[in-house]
Amino acid sequence: MTSHLDNSSSLLQPVNQHQLPVRKGSWFKKLTKKQSKMNEDTADEEEPRSLPALPPSIGSSRASVDISENVGSSPNTASASASASASTSTSTSTSSHHHHHHHHSHSHNHNHNHEKDGNHIVRSASVSESSSSSSRKGSVVYACRCCGTLITYPADISKVKCSMCSTVFIFKKSSNDSSISSSKNIEELSPSPLSYSALKYAIEECKKSLNPQATSHSIFKPLEEYLYRSFSSYDCLNYSFRNQKSETKLSYSSSGLDQVQLKKFYKLLLSLPSKRPFYALLCASNDLLLRPTKFSEPAETYWLLILLEIPTLRTSLLLKDNSYSQEIKSVSYEILKRVIGFLGYSDKKTKQYLCHWFSRLTPDEFTEKVNLINLYINFQLNRCISLELKNNPANNYNSSAHLTDADDNPGFKDDRPSSSQSGNSSYRLWNFSTINGKQKQNNEIKIKLYRYGNDWHLRTAGRFMAILFSSNIYYNTGKQKIPCSTFYNTLVDYVSIKQDFDAWQFNCGAYNKGLETNENGDASVQSVINYLHSASTTSIYGIGSPLSPTSTRMKPTFTFCQYPCLISLGAKISVLEYEAKRQMERKAEEAFISSISRKVPIDVNFKIRVRREHISNDSLRCIQQHPNDLRKSLRVEFINEPGIDAGGLKKEWFLLLSKELFNPDKGLFTYNETSCLGWFSISPIENDEMYYLVGVVLGLAIYNSTILDLQFPRAFYKKLLGNTNVGLDDFIELYPEAGKNLKKILHYHKNDDLKSLELYFEVTFRDIFGAIHTRELIPNGSKIQVTFENKIEYINKYLLFYLDEIIKTQADAFKRGFDQVIGGNALSLFTAEEIELILIGDDSKFGDKFLNVDILKVVSKYQGGLTENSKLVLWFWEYVETLNYKQQKKLLLFITGSDRLPATGIQSLNFKITLLNGSKSRFPVAHTCFNELCIYNYDLKQDFYNKLDFAVNESEGFGIK
């Protein structure tokens, strides 16, 4: 694993993918001859790249010399002073993945941002000409294909080394390269493509030379050399492990990689008594990654997919997993971080192919990839958390109590997660609940933006996870392979996500977007508010602002909000509430300053006064009269009914209004008899105001954390987000029978079969009044018959018509109302699945039950003298456990006003049980506004159960049926 620059990689020429894998008989002899030939050819150039010297024992604690030079080295980055006219920053040395000491110094090297993700320009010091680059005629800017760092170098040099990730890029071949390439024996120098059968044969050949005195290491020495040469050759590796059925032409349907054969190859290799052959494979792979060759086409990324399947990559991230030696884990980590980097920074065309290839994996294989990347992200965040704990005096941090000082140990022994659970699991390297015996709140431990904002490991992991997330959506025309919650990374909950959100908006230039003038057009009022906010906003994360023109800290190059698939639903909701609160405060400031200048009173709440019998019209009137108050705190009053809104009246207003708006008799939505799901009504009468009201109500429900009883398909929530990516599966969910017929059309392969259906590019439908209408899907569509050649176009036009065009007016008004309430950038963090979960709650089963009673016990609070060990409390939990799924939902509806759990789970439910003074003959009472059950001091368990049963099953509204 030598790190010097040489030209030996040019010896590896393209090989025919159908070439025989092994030359039997004299295989090892020819291999030795090839290696000798390579050494002779390169002797006059530089020291040859040979197999790294292995330590006496693979299991020893000391890595070899070659590894210590490249793996886990501490950074030594220094910043050169740049003149005022300089457009680039200069880095004087490379840095590995351990950058604890100089994390802050890195941030000062990013003087300019040229890309959306904030990549910075670095001039590589590994190039000898860099010191005199100012005298060159020109310079070239190149984006590192591993970490994204922009490198500037003189145009006349042939090699450059990225100072951030140490990857070497060769741009021009030297004269020596061309002379070697013209050698007559160049074909013989190229290793043959790898396969499971080739490895099996090679192992058998090694065993034939068995010597009673020989050690396992010496027996498999030829295998080491074979694997090292093969895995250090791009041309060999990229044509290896091909599926026999794979097409020679590049295809979206398959990468052509034989996953079964590849896994058998690694498994057989790891089963050998000596791990040196596998270690040689790792060293060769890392050498190849340090000196990559081709990336211009998707077909040139096969070798990266082969390396991604190495079994020890995941083990390299686990501290207490001692299945493999420290040397193997160290090099495996180096391979993992570079493979993630190269795949994450693939070009657009390659990413499209990767998305299709990953979408063809089985759910288990796909989940394994997601968990690996999440585990890698946890590995990086664990170091940030250790620094946060160590540098915060309030935590009374003791490094030896948590992990060995990683700053003084550049190896990989003490900064890995200590669990073997999956990447998206909730394991912790530290005990966050107690630090040195003192109780801590989880939210007190927050990773600051400057700790990770310029970490290229996290940036590349986020980009690669975005590819996987897109693959999940690509699957089966919009249907997800795995739930989006599988992508959540639990350690991101320990990131200061609000600061991250602000930095993301600032990077996008959206922080003050749309806020230049207030609603009254008073520029002087707005200038005061903008001045105050510009100071507080930029001071949060130390970036430059008009108030601090000398600030030197630059924008972060990475934020988690760039990759929202990593952020849990609870964290996203907190961001949504944060943005809404900030907008509300801004509106309050505007109103306050305006009221002072105009001498008019202000109302800090959004008040809705309605009559029960006219709830829709009264609600619409209040919303239209106060369009700028929708983000204020909501207060509801029912006219001629005494009561103070502590939350209960608000819940009742949502319940009654949504029940009326979504009633089929209202005519706004129609419901399919088969799916029982609703969709926008097809009506000749425009009713934009009512659809606008529906959008506002849904926005207010999210803003006020209220669960609604809605029956709509996933496409409905995609409309909320402005997502036009609706497909056949969305249509089938809404219209099952018609959707299945469309799917049958896809399976027709003969024109005669399609023509017998007599389908044309036109549709016939009924509106809500029963009138029949006919529309052409394309110009002159009534005369164009559906054939095998145009059936895809027909289906796409059909879906577009029913899911978009015919209901466009209604959907636009609906979206406009929703955006009036929830119109910020935080909404873009959510998927349609998450928005649906927030609006309608969670009704998934816990086993054969609805409630996880154990968790509910933990989050419950007791009042009126009750404790968790009180007789009545124990009786209540016994009662809950005896109920079935439907009965538990009824109980929850009685106590909270909803039969669904919050989107973030039962652990976020504020549940109370209160003891009241009064007659024991009374029935239990529920305060839905507080999620509170009030009971009396009953003497008998059965008497308590009977009264609670009656209250749950016979109550309606605020009384008995």
The catalytic residues are 929
**Is 372 strand, coil or helix?**
helix
Tell me the Cα Rg of the chain: 33
**Is 860 strand, coil or helix?**
coil
How many Å apart are CA 608 and CA 621, to the nearest integer?
A: 9
How many Å apart are CA 241 and CA 195, to the nearest integer?
A: 5
- Dihedral sign from CA coordinates of 454, 455, 459, 465: negative
Token duo for residue 581? 């609160």
Exposed (0-12), middle (13-18) or buried (19+): which is 933, by Cβ within 10 Å? Answer: buried
Token duo for residue 541? 């994360």
CA 37 to the chain's CA centroid: 49
Instruction: For residue 90, give the nearest of 79, 102, 77 by alpha carbon.
Output: 79
| Amino acid (1-letter code) at residue 47 | E
**DSSP track, 391-447:** T-GGG---HHHHS--TTS--SSSSSS-S--S-TTS---SS-SSEETTEE--GGG--B
- The CA-CA-CA angle for residues 583, 588, 592, to 5°, reads 150
CA 540 to the chain's CA centroid: 25
How many Å apart are CA 75 and CA 95, to the nearest integer?
A: 4
Token duo for residue 392? 């915060």
**DSSP track, 644-696:** --SSHHHHHHHHHHHHHHT-GGGSSEEE-TTT--EEE---SS--HHHHHHHHH
**DSSP track, 36-58:** HHHHHHHTTTS----PPPPPS-T
Token duo for residue 895? 């106590």
Phi, psi at 711, each rounded to 5°: -130, 85
Q: Are strands 159-161 and 139-143 parallel, antiparallel or unpaired?
A: unpaired
How many Å apart are CA 278 and CA 366, to the nearest integer?
A: 25
Tell me the C-alpha to C-alpha distance, in Å, between residue 529 and each of 511, 516, 537, 630: 14, 10, 12, 20
